[in-house]
């Protein structure tokens, strides 16, 4: 059980405050919150049948670069078969409505992380049941963003330290919200929500631990890739596919993420669909990153809060 001090509140979509800012998150504190609603049992629904999720996923599959990744119909059907097994509690599904309405980027992002991580898991995780478990974590990995004010998620200029801390809060918030809805702090989705920004060399957040879980790493790489190839408010445009893959390759060279996931991602980006173990990666860099990009840049002088 991680011991984390929460610098910001954690509330549900219905504005039920689970933890105020300043709370030290302990097993006892989390168990007490879970116990408070143990009598409720949430109805579940297949994710793909919820709202327009299936139609939206198929639309996203047909836009570049995903149209190459999801080119092989047999592979797509295999992924859809796995995706169809994912059922989620209704309050978790309702967060998709929230994102679709107020932050469409996060809506498309969580669905594509869901689909892409499932595709990669089919290559890298031999156990079918583990693949299903992993698939169910993709659509919920960023659920904690419901606790981040929308103007911060959409800001086009550098964040202040406080705002940056608020964005990073989504990892712990997701861990708490999923523990609450699943009533199980050991659920893989909780671990993925908490750890998907951690890195192998300890340079990630929120805890700076060494990322060593293959399932979390598949979500982490899918998360980075999707964030690079989509337009984001804090930079002038998306990374082109080549540059995005080069950026991720560089992260493997720096031991932030492992090579196998990257090889699997690159293999799916090739029309010939080679096995990931056949992939050799060139060290040459030919891509051009977007000209304006303030991701990771902290605005000076706006905040000196010592907590961050």
Task: Catalog residues that contact Fe ion under the rule CB under 5 A.
Answer: 142, 223
DSSP 192-214: HHHHTT-BTTS--SSS-PBP--H
CB of 98 to Fe ion, least distance (A): 15
Ranked by CB distance to Fe ion, the top (closest) residue is 223
Which residues contact residue 301 at a Cβ distance below 8 angstroms, ignoring those fewer than 6 apart? none
Q: Which is nearer to Fe ion, 123 or 142 (CB)?
A: 142
CB of 270 to Fe ion, least distance (A): 25
Q: Which is nearer to Fe ion, 217 or 223 (CB)?
A: 223
CB of 304 to Fe ion, least distance (A): 26
Q: Which is nearer to Fe ion, 123 or 223 (CB)?
A: 223
Which residues contact residue 160 at a Cβ distance below 8 angstroms, ignoring those fewer than 6 apart? 298, 299, 302, 303
Which residues contact residue 67 at a Cβ distance below 8 angstroms, ignoring those fewer than 6 apart? 61
Q: Find out whether 18 and 33 touch, Cβ atoms under 8 Å.
A: yes
- Cis omega (within 30 of 0) on the bond before 192? no
CB of 106 to Fe ion, least distance (A): 8
Cα-based distances in Å from 259 to 79, 234, 293: 22, 28, 26
Q: Which is nearer to Fe ion, 234 or 284 (CB)?
A: 234
The two tokens of residue 56 are 């939206």
The two tokens of residue 267 are 């293999």
CB of 62 to Fe ion, least distance (A): 22
CB of 194 to Fe ion, least distance (A): 10
Q: Which is nearer to Fe ion, 163 or 223 (CB)?
A: 223
Q: Which is nearer to Fe ion, 223 or 260 (CB)?
A: 223
Q: Which is nearer to Fe ion, 142 or 260 (CB)?
A: 142
H-type alpha helices, the chain: 27-35, 53-61, 66-69, 73-83, 90-102, 104-124, 128-135, 150-153, 161-182, 188-195, 214-229, 241-253, 259-268
CB of 42 to Fe ion, least distance (A): 23
């Amino acid at each position: 059980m991680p011991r984390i001090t929460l610098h910001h509140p954690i509330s549900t979509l219905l504005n039920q405050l689970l933890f105020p800012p300043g709370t030290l998150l302990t097993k006892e504190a989390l168990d007490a919150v879970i116990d408070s609603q143990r009598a409720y049992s949430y109805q579940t629904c297949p994710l793909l049948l919820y709202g327009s999720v299936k139609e939206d996923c198929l639309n996203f599959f047909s836009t570049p670069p995903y149209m190459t990744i999801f080119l092989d119909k047999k592979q797509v059907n295999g992924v859809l078969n796995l995706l169809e097994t994912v059922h989620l509690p209704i309050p978790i599904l309702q967060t998709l409505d929230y994102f679709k309405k107020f932050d469409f980027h996060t809506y498309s992002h969580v669905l594509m992380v869901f689909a892409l991580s499932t595709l990669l898991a089919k290559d890298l995780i031999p156990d079918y049941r583990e693949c299903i478990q992993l698939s169910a974590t993709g659509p919920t990995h960023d659920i904690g963003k419901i606790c981040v004010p929308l103007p911060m998620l959409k800001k086009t200029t550098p964040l202040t330290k406080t705002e940056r801390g608020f964005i990073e809060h989504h990892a712990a918030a997701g861990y708490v919200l999923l523990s609450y809805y699943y009533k199980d702090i050991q659920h893989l989705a909780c671990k993925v929500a908490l750890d998907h920004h951690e890195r192998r060399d300890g340079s990630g957040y929120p805890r700076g631990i060494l990322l060593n879980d293959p399932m979390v790493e598949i979500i982490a790489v899918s998360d980075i890739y999707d964030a690079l190839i989509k337009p984001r408010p804090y930079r002038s445009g998306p990374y082109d596919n080549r540059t995005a893959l080069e950026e991720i390759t560089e992260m493997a060279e720096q031991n932030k993420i492992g090579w196998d996931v990257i090889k699997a991602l690159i293999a799916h980006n090739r029309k010939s669909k080679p096995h990931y173990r056949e992939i050799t990666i060139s060290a040459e860099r030919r891509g051009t990153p977007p000209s304006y990009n303030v991701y990771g840049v902290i605005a000076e002088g706006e905040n000196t809060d010592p907590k961050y």
